[in-house]
Structure 1
Amino acid sequence: MALYREKDIFERRGAANEAKRALLERFKARPAENDPQVLARKAERQAILDAREKRAIEKEKLRKEREALEAAERARREAAEAEQRRIEEERLAAEAKIREQQEIERVALELAEEAERKAKRDARYAARKQRKRGGRTS
């Protein structure tokens, strides 16, 4: 069984100093700004950024084209629907006009039939009256 030994302050300070020293050495070992490897990496990163920007521009252009096509299609569909509604309204108006004309004709026919029935009734009434008068005067 291993015993856990807590580090004292001197060991912790020594470890921190060692870490700082290693970090400083790593920083000093870094190549200079004009080193060919650094310049190559910088150029590579710039090329990646440029390519990413070009892709973003192309993607935006494609999105705008797609939106324009969708808007044109939506406008065409709405115009077709409006035309269809107009045609349907005209058809309904024509049907309503035909029904109204038929109703007028039906009412006129009923009035004519009623007037004919009334004329026949009046003729029968007048004939009956004539027969009654004829019988009294004889």
Structure 2
Amino acid sequence: MRGYKEPGFQDRTAAAQDARKKALEQLRTKAPLSEAEQAERLAKSIAKEAAAREKREAVLREREAAKIARREQAEKAAANKPVALTEAERKAARDARYAARKARK
């Protein structure tokens, strides 16, 4: 009994050529699309593209809104942050408290 014989280069190229011929024949025998089908496919493609573009724009608008909200929150936090007083301002406040205490007595 003979063993398995691997196909040689000639056999592989012939098989590939036959496969190409078969694929080309299938394409040639395939019925062409009607204009209505072509228009329908084009319309679907355009609608799909428009939906994807709208989705991207919505994501960009969301990101921009989030960025503005973070900026406003940071500004609010900065406004609520106590301002560091200078040495002269602290001395003036201390003196005012001292004077108010003396005035009460």
Same fold (TM over 0.5): yes
TM-score when scaled to structure 2?
0.66
Residues 1:22 and 2:17 are matched in the alignment:
no
Partner AA of 2:4 in structure 1: Y
Q: CA RMSD in A?
A: 3.0
1:128 corresponds in structure 2 to none
2:32 corresponds in structure 1 to 31
What is the CA distance between 1:31 and its match in structure 2? 2.9
Question: 1:66 and 1:60 mapped to 2: Cα distance?
Answer: 10
Question: 2:35 and 2:15 mapped to 1: Cα distance?
Answer: 33
Query: What fraction of aligned residue pairs are identical, expressed as a percent?
Result: 18
Q: Which runs of 5+ in 2 are unaligned?
A: 99-105
1:58 corresponds in structure 2 to 58
TM-score when scaled to structure 1?
0.53
2:5 corresponds in structure 1 to 5
* Structure with more of its chain in helix, by fraction: 1
Q: Which has the higher contact order (CA 8 A, sep 6+)?
A: 1
Structure number, greater radius of gyration: 1
Alignment of 1:97-108 (within 5 A): 97=95
Deviant stretches of 4+, over 4 Å: none
